[in-house]
Structure 1
Amino acid sequence: MSDRNNVFLYYTPTDEVEVKLEKLKELGREHGLTLVDDASKANIIASIGGDGAFLQAIRKTGFREDCLYVGINDGRLGFYTDFNLDDLDGIKAGLQSDMVEVLRYPILDVTVDGNENFHCINECSIRSNIIKTFAIDVYIDNIYFETFRGDGMVVSTPTGSTAYNKSLRGAIVDPRLASMQLTEIASLNNNEYRTLGSPLLLNKDRELVLKIVQDGNDHPIIGADNEALSIRHSHEVKIKVSDKMIKTIKLKDNSFVHKVKRSFL
């Protein structure tokens, strides 16, 4: 990491975390790392906390392709946080050896009504904002696919497949597959509305368009990862796998298979 020595720490300050960070900062200085207060000047952006903190670190720093993102957990295991703030020896070993590798994670490009653009690394969700179902016309590569009625839909990345998507009985997808998955939230299937009724995995070159049917509940909530966006009166949401990828550091002995087994089995 000699050519990547400017580090920005993203975390929520508490007395306990600040004490632990002093030891982490000292370790960093010993290995030639420089702490910076401006994320735009960093080559490494390290989040302190769980997966939620990691997602926010990426979002708040603009989904940068020119830096490495590192997740350091504070006792809460996650899919993005390979290092432990209480295990400085483990962090030190990662800095000194070939125990770490760089992974590239696909992200989603989302456009709302042709002018609101943002990225997601876990998922984009569209949900009803009142206790009432709403309808969505689904198009894949400009081909009408189905009309959905229910509580909403979730479009997830492979890394996001183990989050909200899994709670909806979506498939867990290997992060090496650049793809996106469409999963329904409480769909209605009757004589008027008929949907696929199962998760749909789409290749990275597909374009998904969700058109909200304007029938009285046309103000759904749009979520980007773990954040609700202040977008209202939306009519059309266009989603595709981005050409951009997020680079992150992980331990070689903590693979995707290890994480799935540890978390769910």
Structure 2
Amino acid sequence: MSERTHIYIYTKHDEKSLEKKMILTEMFSKYGFTAVDDAQNSNIIISLGGDGAFLQAVRKTGFRQDCLYAGISTTGTLSMYCDFYFHEMETMIQAVLRSEIEIRRYPILQVIVDNNPPFYCLNEFSIRSNIIKTFVLDVVIDNLHFETFRGDGMIISTPTGSTAYNKSVNGAVVDPLLPCFQVSELASVNSNTYRSLGSSFILSGQRQLTLRLKQDGNDFPTMAMDNESLSIKHVESVNITLSDRLVKTVKLKNNSFWEKVKRTYL
């Protein structure tokens, strides 16, 4: 960590957030760190806020592979991506300087919609009908037709994203040390014509998942990457794989993923 001294702070632009950003900038300066205005000139990227701010910080800075990310909570509670309290920042800085932190690596999804450039997701990719009717997806795993789904939509989540939208539809919570991704249904309709598994399933990181939309007037689905919408018309297919990219975050040694799950949900 000693060679990482250039910090970019991502935050909202309201008065309170900018005030906290200034306080952090001055504090980091006392310990020999330099706050920069351009994320490309940084090697540590810090988000101020909650998990939503962390997701945006990662996305807006391009899922940097040569940087460390850290989430600082300004909500008064720690969360899945925010490991540090704003009011305890000096403790965090001292831990960094004494090498009392570890590097956590989170897998991310790569999503390709038709022939568009790839998109990346740290939490999940979701696809839903955008009109008041169900839609139909052919679910293909490694070029093998697996099922024909009819319902409201699907969520494809990373292990860390398994605790978010995926968990709310009774998907499994998955250890991020497992290189995999999870597929969960939204209100499936099972009949003699359309039949799907009816439960979440987990795919190895070596698998490729393809969702092919039946062209029945619902070719402009609602799609989201983490907490950001994706607007593409006339969608025919979506290819999803586990990317070889990883998001590297800093954590205190006594703050594992499962300690965070327990703190958040139990």
Q: Any idea what SS the aligned residue of 1:205 has?
A: coil
Match of 2:130 in 1: 129
Deviates more, 1:59-68 or 1:112-121: 112-121
Match of 1:35 in 2: 35
List aligned pairs for 1:3-14, cutoff 5 A. 3-14=3-14
The yes-or-no answer on 1:245 pairing with 2:227 is: no
Deviation at 1:117, TM superposition (A): 1.5
Match of 2:199 in 1: 198
The yes-or-no answer on 1:229 pairing with 2:230 is: yes
Q: Any idea what SS the aligned residue of 2:262 has?
A: helix
Q: Aligned partner of 2:33: which letter?
A: L
Q: Any idea what SS the aligned residue of 1:54 has?
A: helix
Alpha-carbon separation, structure 1, partners of 2:22 and 2:224: 35
Q: Deviations over 1:195-219 (max 9, x none)?
A: 1011010000000000011112221
8 Å CA contact 2:123–2:164 kept in 1: the answer is yes
Alpha-carbon separation, structure 1, partners of 2:19 and 2:228: 29
Count of equivalent residues:
265
Q: Aligned partner of 2:192: which letter?
A: N
RMSD: 1.2
Alpha-carbon separation, structure 2, partners of 1:62 and 1:185: 29
Match of 2:219 in 1: 218
Q: Deviations over 1:81-135 (max 9, x none)?
A: 0011122333233223233111111111110102232101110100111111000
Match of 2:73 in 1: 73
Alpha-carbon separation, structure 2, partners of 1:213 and 1:172: 30
Q: Any idea what SS the aligned residue of 1:87 has?
A: helix
Alpha-carbon separation, structure 2, partners of 1:7 and 1:153: 37
Change (3 A) 1:181 1:123: same
Q: Deviations over 1:138-190 (max 9, x none)?
A: 00000000000000001000000000000011000001111000000010012
Match of 1:180 in 2: 181
Identical-pair percentage: 54
TM superposition score normalised by structure 1: 0.96
Match of 1:2 in 2: 2
The yes-or-no answer on 1:49 pairing with 2:37 is: no
Q: Aligned partner of 2:65: which letter?
A: E
Q: Aligned partner of 1:245: which letter?
A: L
Alpha-carbon separation, structure 2, partners of 1:116 and 1:129: 23
Match of 2:258 in 1: 257
Q: Any idea what SS the aligned residue of 2:82 has?
A: coil
Deviation at 1:14, TM superposition (A): 2.8
Match of 1:84 in 2: 85
TM superposition score normalised by structure 2: 0.96
Alpha-carbon separation, structure 1, partners of 2:202 and 2:95: 35
Q: Any idea what SS the aligned residue of 2:87 has?
A: coil
Q: Aligned partner of 1:49: which letter?
A: G
Q: Where in structure 2 are there 5+ consecutive unaligned residues?
A: none
Q: Where in structure 1 are there 5+ consecutive unaligned residues?
A: none
List aligned pairs for 1:102-141, cutoff 5 A. 102-141=103-142
Alpha-carbon separation, structure 2, partners of 1:214 and 1:186: 20
8 Å CA contact 2:9–2:21 kept in 1: the answer is no
8 Å CA contact 2:139–2:209 kept in 1: the answer is yes
Q: Any idea what SS the aligned residue of 1:4 has?
A: coil
Match of 2:16 in 1: 16
Match of 2:208 in 1: 207
Deviation at 1:35, TM superposition (A): 0.6
